[in-house]
Amino acid sequence: MRGFFKSLVTVALLATALPTAAQEKTGNKPGFTLTPGTARIVLMRPSIRVGEQSTGGMFEPNADWTLQARDMLGRAIGSVQGQLGNSVVDLVEPVGADASALAEYQALFTTLADSVIVYQFFPGNRLPTKKRKGQFSWTLGPGVASLPGLKGADYALFVTTDDQFGSAGRKAVQLLAALGGVGITSGVHKGFAGLVDIKTGDLVWLNADLQMGGDVRTEEGAQKRVAQLFEGFPGRPVASAAGQ
């Protein structure tokens, strides 16, 4: 039962000896390529939450900030959607039981991306079975194909952002720790964008970082965050990506 301790491990990965450069941020399934103009991608409703990080590191949600971020990030995603090299369409939101199934898959994607970061992107903490050369084997399972609104599509694009701004108490802990020679972060700014093959449920591309830039409550910050989320998006024309 390490569930509770997992969040501490994630924070510790950020806070302790590992330099930022040690963390990988992008993974591709071996052999996966996407030619521009060949695939139909469905953008799942982004999972966005914003709040404060308490002194002890716990998340305290803020509804106003979350609403602002949904609005800003929604606009920023909309502005780049046409420049990703392939057709990227919004999912038609389901209702009832279908909405519940969709929410479960969105939550599973966030858990999957968390796992990729902790157990693959940090080489020092990588699982031995994930160390084999060129390996990137992660999946949501084939049940993804049964989700509503994905008929005729090739890939599902999942996006998660989780922003926890450091409270005054947290910043004080950071200062105290620094005086003791220990590096502790104040605030979490996670962002994940992942492409899932609808036929298999396999994660074919993931861009994920536990410390992304951009204040998602502002227009400019949201644009910066979205540019980071879609950095290296498969099949994206190079000129367009560079223009972001």
Among positions 19, 96, 124, 152, the unique one binding other proteins when judged by CB under 8 A: 124
192 binds other proteins, rule: CB under 8 A: no
Residue 18 lies near other proteins (rule: CB under 8 A): yes
Applying CB under 8 A, the span of 16-24, 71-79, 215-223, 235-243 interacting with other proteins comes to 16-24
Length of the chain measured in residues: 244
145 makes contact with other proteins (CB under 8 A): no
Structure tokens at 137: 């084997």
**Any contact of residue 57 with other proteins (CB under 8 A)?**
yes
Distance from C-alpha of 48 to C-alpha of 46, rounded to nearest angstrom: 6
Nearer residue to other proteins within complex by CB, 11 or 241: 11
Q: Please, what is the angle between helix 63-80 and helix 219-229, to 10°?
A: 60
Report CA torsion sign: 83, 86, 92, 94: negative
Q: What angle do CA 203, 205, 209 make, to 5 degrees?
A: 105
Taking alpha carbons only, the member of 227, 232, 222 closest to residue 163 is: 222
Q: What values do phi and psi take at 210, rounded to 5?
A: -85, -10
Evaluate whether 17 touches 130 at the Cβ level (below 8 Å). no
19 interacts with other proteins by CB under 8 A: no
**C-alpha to C-alpha distance for 33 and 35, rounded to whole angstroms:** 7
Look at the alpha carbons of 5, 67, 220, 77 in this order and tell me if their dihedral is positive or negative. positive
Choose between 200 and 218: whose C-beta lies nearer to other proteins.
200
Using the rule CB under 8 A, is 111 a contact of other proteins? yes
Stretch that binds other proteins, among 71-79, 85-93, 121-129, 223-231 (CB under 8 A): 121-129
- Span of 27-35, 37-45, 50-58, 204-212 interacting with other proteins by CB under 8 A: 50-58
Rule CB under 8 A: say whether 12 interacts with other proteins. Answer: yes
Residues that bind other proteins in the complex, under the rule CB under 8 A:
1-9, 11-13, 15-18, 55-57, 59, 103-108, 110-112, 114-115, 118-119, 124-129, 138-143, 169, 172-173, 176-177, 180, 182, 184, 201
